[in-house]
Amino acid sequence: MKRIGMLTSGGDCQALNAAMRGVVKGLSENISELEIYGFYEGYKGLIYGNYRLLTAADFSGILTRGGTILGTSRQPFKYMRTPDENGLDKVVAMKQTYHKLNLDCLVILGGNGTQKTANLLREEGLNVVHLPKTIDNDIYGTDVTFGFQSAVNVATQAIDCIHTTAASHNRVFIVEVMGHKVGWLTLYAGVSSGADIILLPEIPYDINKVIKAIKKRSDAGKGFTILAVAEGAISKEDAALSKKEYKKKQEQSKYPSVSYEIAAQIEKALGTEVRVAVPGHTQRGGSPCPYDRALCTRLGAAAAKAILDEDYGCMIAMINNETKRVPLSEVAGKLKTVDPNCRMIQEAKLIGISFGD
């Protein structure tokens, strides 16, 4: 008998269900006696014992279904060692739930914060396997995370739609793409949709360079300009501030986000009309794209194989199009950022895309 716990934590994305399905199918095809316990709302379910025994019917027909059948919540890693409002030790509670159910392994699907807690549980002696989920594609140790390509598709379509209205009205449009700390999503969506200017958190921008790029297009007879701006994009001036100073500036800002500040600066400098479009959470919603469905099926099957081999404490990564087991101890807490000098950035600049630097 194998008893497996499963939870999805952090922000949702389009392919969580597909990944869980891959794990369960990989196990059920190779184990005659299997129990799968699903924890509701991520680590919260593990902490407070909110779970149920899942059946094969729960995983039928969910390959194309977005979101997560288990629900999710954010439980910040930095507070995991802090007792809750009733004095409950969350780490002790999670261990007690694990041992109460006599689990052989806990399969955890989530991003960076989720991964850090998974590693903490590994250090506490629990058998865990982590599957890398995030639309930001910022998990260290894997070439790609599931949810990323589906989000790229949504963000790209949003910018595609903006092109027609921008061209019709000869306007400057800013499309704000998700990504506070890293710009993978903005980079891929921007290049895929033919954005003229792409602003990323990893490349602090000079607003004068941005304005110059817009004016260059205008002088060339091109009446509109599309900017793909990561929500974490930052100016060179702000990048020079301390974290405390930057946070204070943000709190005092009259703008909802950096995109609106950039829009105001462009309007003031050029006297042109600027519109801001924010696709927001649509980038995390909807059905997973075919690429993510295939990716999650492979990652899920590889996770099942790790469990069958009793090889725990790892993340299932995709490296050079091959599934690999990467020790959590080597990757937890690390962030995969865009290299400002990477080949993709160089090639984008070669065809005239400005990064404001």
Question: Which residues are known to be catalytic?
Answer: 136
Measured from the Cβ of residue 324, the count of other Cβ atoms closer than 10 Å reads: 15
Give the Cα separation of 307 and 125 in Å (integer). Answer: 16
Greatest Cα pair distance, the chain, in angstroms, is: 71
Give the Cα separation of 19 and 131 in Å (integer). Answer: 8
Write b or e for each residue in 152-169: b if 16 or more Cβ atoms lie within 10 A of its Cβ, otherwise e. Answer: bbbbbebbeebbeebeee
Paired sense of beta strands 197-199 and 314-319, if any? unpaired
Write b or e for each residue in 230-245: b if 16 or more Cβ atoms lie within 10 A of its Cβ, otherwise e. Answer: bbbbbbeebeeeeeee
Amino acid in the structure at residue 119 = N
What value does the CA radius of gyration of the chain take, rounded to a whole number of Å? 22
Give the Cα separation of 45 and 203 in Å (integer). Answer: 39
Give 220's DSSP letter.
T
Using alpha carbons, list the distances in angstroms from residue 192 to 60, 185, 233: 34, 10, 19
Paired sense of beta strands 34-39 and 51-54, if any? antiparallel
Give the Cα separation of 17 and 8 in Å (integer). Answer: 9
Structure tokens at 80: 């995991």
Of 301, 274, 264, 234, the C-alpha closest to 63 is 301
Give 25's DSSP letter.
H
| Dihedral in degrees, nearest 10, Cα atoms 294, 296, 302, 305 | -110
